[in-house]
Every structure is written in structure tokens, then in C-alpha cells.
Chain A
Amino acid sequence: MTRMEVKVSRRRLLEGGVAFGGALALPGHLKAQPGTVKVGILQPVTGAVAFEGTHGRIGAEAALKQINDAGGIKSLGGARLEMVFGDARSTPEGGTAEVERLAAEGVSAIVGGYASPICLAASQAAARYDLPYIVDVGVADQIVQRGLTNTFRFAPGFGIVSKQAIDNLVTLNDAAGKPAKTVVLVHEDGLFGAGLTKLMQAELPKRGFEILDTISHPTPARDMTNVVLQIRAKNPDLVIPSNYYVEFVLLERAMQQQKIRPKGVYCVLNGGASNYRFVKEFPDAAQYVMDCNHWHDPTNPAAQALRKAVEASGEVFTYNVSLNYSAVLLLADAIERAASPDRKAIIAALATSTFAGHIMPYGPTKFTNGQNEGAAPVNTQVQDGDIKVIFPSRYADAKPVFPVPA
């Protein structure tokens, strides 16, 4: 009986959803006037990764506002960019459904996605409409290995980040006189954490590190004390965590409670170590944590101005903000050069982009098979309540502190 009721209600829900979707789409068509180019911003603003998605949206909105305030797209007679927002609801299905809606509403391109599974599904759905899709974060390398001509990733993927992370770790350790020899890897068991750890397990022993243990944990995890007890039993020189924000906070907190002080905590693409909220809420636990991650160029004045504006509004300046801000500027540049809201023309313009007006430490953009060749992560370290760039020296605003003083 109960099951039947659920079925009926689901069907009703679907009917409602279709009617609602239609109602949304209709005014969209009516509103379309000459002089606007519609841009789809797709972010997960509800569900498990809503925090990241919300910040992606903040970055995208800041860029759109800046372009419109500066007179819009000049090659289209000052056409304004109009945001059509889609909530990916933290799932690939949610992302795909919103791509369909955005396509029906007549957007010229889509920016966003955040999580790898969402980016994979959404860019593929967009490909059916020849709709240019700029991936903001999505680090899984399959995203740009499927031969989809509509898909462009502005930020670095897994392969680049993990190689850079290991290279930088070796450099850091050598410069300090090789204090770290043993490592424990802690990772979340999804696509991101497990994939990264596999690369590390293959590469670290070749570079002279001994892996004492590899501990995986689920997301969300209710408690990280067990993980920390195991770390303590192994007593490694270095802990390398790859996990999301909440689990990282629980891990760091439990490490402090159990009085574990390794010579360094070296994160790779970590959700917490590059988050000002963590730094602010747990200054002691956060001190000297290093991360190899997406990060804005701290020497760039536009980045400094954006950070100030975002923080003034009471928000946290995360890399989601800077990446989406940059990705929307990149798209606007392509529309400018294409001088057309036509999807195919924008894809062609993106493919030949040399855009350098972004705030990431990447240099001029150059897409090869959809991947921005200049994209690279940087190493950050939490120092006295701030997040500083310590590598590469070109963008660095602080010197690394390693090993961590006892």
C-alpha cells in the first residue's frame, strides 16, 4: 500500500515538475531581447557540496557584474551577459536535468559543475546541443579525455596536480635536509581521494618515501578518531590527507586531541586546508598545514580586490570563487572575439583562446584537447591565521615552514 502511494506521489511530482519547468522556460523566451547573451551558470547550491557550489556562484556573479558594468560585450554592441542559473543539486542527474533546461532557455554557454561526477555528466549533456561547457573545477581527467569538442577545463586536473604535488614535496623535503622519510596516506574513498592515493602509492616510494599505511574513510564520516589512533600507532613523519572539508576538520581536530604532531601535514586538493573558515575557526590546528591546490595568484591586484570585496560581503574567499570568476571572464573574452552568441562560434573562439586577464597563476590560456595547458596548482601553507603561497616562487608570498617546529 505504502509503495503504491509513493509511486503515485512521484508521478504527481513529475507532472508538477514538468509544468513548473515549462512555466520557467516560457518567460525566458519572452524576455529574450536583442542585446543580451544568456550564460548558464551551473552550480550545486543544495545538497552535499552546496558550500562549494555557492562560492562558485559568487565568483561567476562577480565576473558577470564586472563585465556588464564595463559596458558588456563590445563586439555585440555592448550586449549584456544575462545569467541563467541552474542548481545541480550535488548530483550528476541534477546537473544533467539543469543542462537540458538551460539549453531550452537558449543559453550560449555553460560554466561550472564543481564536482567531477557532475562535470562529466553535465558536459556530455551539453555536447548534444553543441553547447560550450567550461568546467570550473572537476579534477577527474576523464572529463577532457572523451573527445568532446564543447568541453573546456580551465583548471588543472588530477594528473597535473598530483605530479606537481609530489615534485614540490620532494623539493620541500630536500631543501630542509630530508627530515621526512615515512608517510601515512589518509583518503576519502570516492573517485577523488582513492584516485589520488593510487597515484601517490605508485610514485612516493620511487622518490624515497616509505608508505607506512594507507587509511581510507567514507564521506561523510561521523568520527575520525579511529583513523587518528591508527596514525598514532604508525607514528609517521608526514601525514598526507586527501579528503573534503568536514572530514579534514574532524581529522585535524582529532589529531590535536590525540596529541599527534607529525613533521608536516601535506594535503593534496584538500577541501579544508585552503579554506579561510577552517583557518579562522581552528587557528592552532590549522597552523603550518600545507596544501597543493587550486589557488588565485596572490600577487595579482584584481585577485586582491576580489578577495576584499568577497570578504566585505561576509563570505569566505575560496578557490571556487576565483576559478569561476576567471572562467566567466574567459568565456566573455571568447564571446567578444566570436562577436556572436552562436554556440559553435563560441566553441571555436574558446579553442583558440589566449586569454590572460584571469586571476589564476596560469599565464595565458591555451587549450589542447579541451585542457588548459598552462593550468597548474600551487602550494599553500597556513601561517599565523592566513593562507600563504609557498610554491612556485614566482607567485609565492611566504617562505615554507618545514619541518613544523616542535
Chain B
Amino acid sequence: MFALPLLVASILNGLMTGAVYALIAVGLTLVYGVLHIINFAHGAILTAAMFAAFLAFRAGIDPYLAMVPLALLFFGLGYAMQRLVIGPASHGDDRNILLVTLGLAIVIENLLLAAFKSDTRTIEVPYGFATIDLGFTFVVVPLAIGFAVSCAAAALLWVLLARTDTGKAIRAVAKEKLGAALAGIDVAHIYAVTFGLGAACLAVAACLLLPTYYVNPRVGNAYVLVAFTIVVLGGMGSIAGAIAGGLFIGVVESLSGLFFGESLGQLGIFLIFILVLLVRPTGLFGARA
């Protein structure tokens, strides 16, 4: 059995990594909820955002300072990508969108491979090793910031969806595309805004990850599978579900790593995943079909 301090430290660590999972999953679930497609380019966009943050750091801008400008930039890129590439190329067929995003993922990853080569890069920031001493464990400052900012970003997104006109329009399109169009909502525009918001979430996540993580042209893949799991667990298209699911998966992964060994850390995730699918197929927060 493990001592209590080790357990608590492990749970804290799980919450902090889980918050970033949640933010990545929020982007994915938002796009699913509105466009009803799985965005296969999600991991590749995350990788691109991490390289953008890396380049910003090289240019002397701290990742945390680069967060807002990069979020805006990636919102624009995401918007343009949906409006100019994915939308036109899909000809209104959902299955085509699936393949287009898959193709985009391959293109983005290989462009990054060509531009940055396969090296794994890390950055060293002055606060990279800063910790808060809790007596029984050290909380790593960049991870704590990651937790706080992820929660704030998710809350901001929720306010945007709940309180603004654009948010209302997004929810309307998600519920009933045709009805929304008849009410005068520009569906193509809303699709692109949603895609942009998903990309902006990734830009924020990238800036939070970079100070304690690394970047190479395949880095996004490590997060995508877990993000998919969170989206299904939380309920496809549910923002609250993605946040709760992300934190939950983070803790489960951390604890099952402790009890079953790190190699089988994923085991806990998928056991719970299967249980949820059996007991509640719509996910924790999913609407009944």
C-alpha cells in the first residue's frame, strides 16, 4: 500500500495534467457538438500551436505572454481552415469532412517535419523548476498555472456560449442546422467560428504545455487518443462533460499508474471508459439521443 502523502501528491498531479487534457478535449468536443464530425487534425493543430509557441519563445516572448496573441492567431487560422479548405472540400457531406481533416493532419504534420526536422526540442524558462513546497510534496508552478488557466479558459468558453449572441448562434446550429439557417444564422460562418474556437483552445493548451513539456512533429498524437476518450466519456459535444472528464481521467491515470505500474496507467482509463459505455452510453453529461 502507498503512504497517504504519495497518494495525495499523485492525485494533485493527476488534476494538474488532467486540466490540460480537459482543455484539449473541450476543443474537440465543441467541434463535434456543432459540426458533428471528429476533427482528426486536432493533434496536428496542437503540434503546430506548440511549434508556434516555441518560435515565439525563440523570438524572446514567454509562452504565457504569447498565449493570448497565439489564441487569436489560431482562432483566425482555424476559421480560415474551415471556411476555405474543410467546408468547400467536403461538399456538405460529413464523411468527406472526416477525410479532409485526416488529410489536413497528414499535411500539417509533414510540413512541420520538413520545417523543423524530427528533433525533439524543449525550452528552459526561469520558472521551469519553480515549486511550491506543501511539506509532503512539491507542486510544480508551471503545472499549477496550467491548471488555473485551463479552468479559466474553459469557464470563459462556457460564458461565451451561454451569454453572447455568437454563443447562442453556435448552440442553435448545434441543435438544428436547418432551423438556425431559416432563422437567419449564417451556418458556414458559425461552423468556421466553432472550428476557430477549437483551434484557439489548442493554442492556449500549447502555451501551457511548453514550459514543462517538449515539442517535436509528433507530439500532438500523445494527447489525441486521451482527448477522444475524454470526449466520449464526458458525452459527445458536452463542454462540462469534457472538463469533468478531463480532470477525472487525469486522476485515474495518475492513480492507476501508481497502483498497476506506469505501463498499465492507461488500463484504468479504459476500464472506466468501458464501464461508462456499458452503464451510460451517452457519456457522463451527454444528452439522451
Contacts and interface: CB of A to CB of B under 8 A. Distances in A.
Contacts of B124: 281-282
Interface in A228-261: 229-230, 233, 245-246, 249-250, 253, 256-259
Interface in B138-154: 138, 140, 143
A250 B149 CA distance: 22
Contacts of B2: 233
Contacts of B213: 250
B262 A226 contact: yes
Given A1-B95, A225-B13, A259-B138, A51 B216 contact: yes
B13 A48 contact: no
B222 A216 contact: no
Given A215-B262, A257-B129, A258-B137, A2 B95 contact: yes
A2 B226 CA distance: 23
A50 B113 contact: yes
20 contacts: A51-B120, A53-B118, A217-B265, A218-B262, A222-B222, A225-B17, A225-B140, A226-B13, A226-B262, A229-B137, A233-B2, A246-B214, A249-B120, A249-B214, A253-B129, A258-B131, A281-B121, A281-B122, A282-B124, A284-B129
A314 B17 CA distance: 34
Given A216-B261, A217-B263, A230-B258, A277 B119 contact: yes
Contacts of B120: 51, 245-246, 249, 277
A192 to B, nearest CB: 14
A44 B101 CA distance: 26
Given A218-B265, A222-B17, A229 B118 contact: no
Nearest to A259: B138
Interface of A: 1-2, 5, 9, 45-48, 50-51, 53-54, 189, 215-218, 220-223, 225-227, 229-230, 233, 245-246, 249-250, 253, 256-259, 277, 281-282, 284, 316
Interface in B103-126: 110, 113, 117-124
Contacts of B138: 257-259
Interface in B208-240: 212-214, 216-218, 222-223, 226
Nearest to B123: A281
Nearest to A187: B263
Interface in B153-174: none
Interface in B42-82: none
B90 interface: no
B271 interface: no
B262 A259 contact: no
Contacts of A316: 119
B9 A229 contact: yes
Interface residues of B, number: 44
Contacts of A226: 10, 13, 254, 257-258, 262, 265
B282 interface: no
Contacts of B122: 249, 281-282
A51 B118 contact: yes
A245 B205 CA distance: 23
B11 to A, nearest CB: 11
Contacts of B262: 215-218, 221, 226-227
A51 B257 CA distance: 28
Interface string B191-205: 000000000000000
B175 to A, nearest CB: 24
B98 interface: yes
Contacts of B113: 46, 50
B277 interface: no
A229 B129 contact: no
Contacts of B216: 51, 246
A9 B2 CA distance: 51
B279 interface: no
Given A229-B9, A259-B138, 20 more contacts: A46-B113, A50-B113, A53-B118, A54-B117, A54-B118, A215-B261, A217-B262, A217-B263, A218-B263, A222-B223, A225-B143, A226-B10, A226-B13, A226-B258, A227-B262, A230-B6, A233-B2, A250-B214, A281-B122, A281-B124
Contact of A223 (B9, B17, B95): B17
The residue among A9, A217, A223 with the most chain B CB atoms within 10 A of its own CB is A223
Given A225-B140, A258-B137, A281-B124, A46 B119 contact: no
A1 B99 CA distance: 13
Contacts of B218: 47-48
Contacts of B6: 229-230, 233
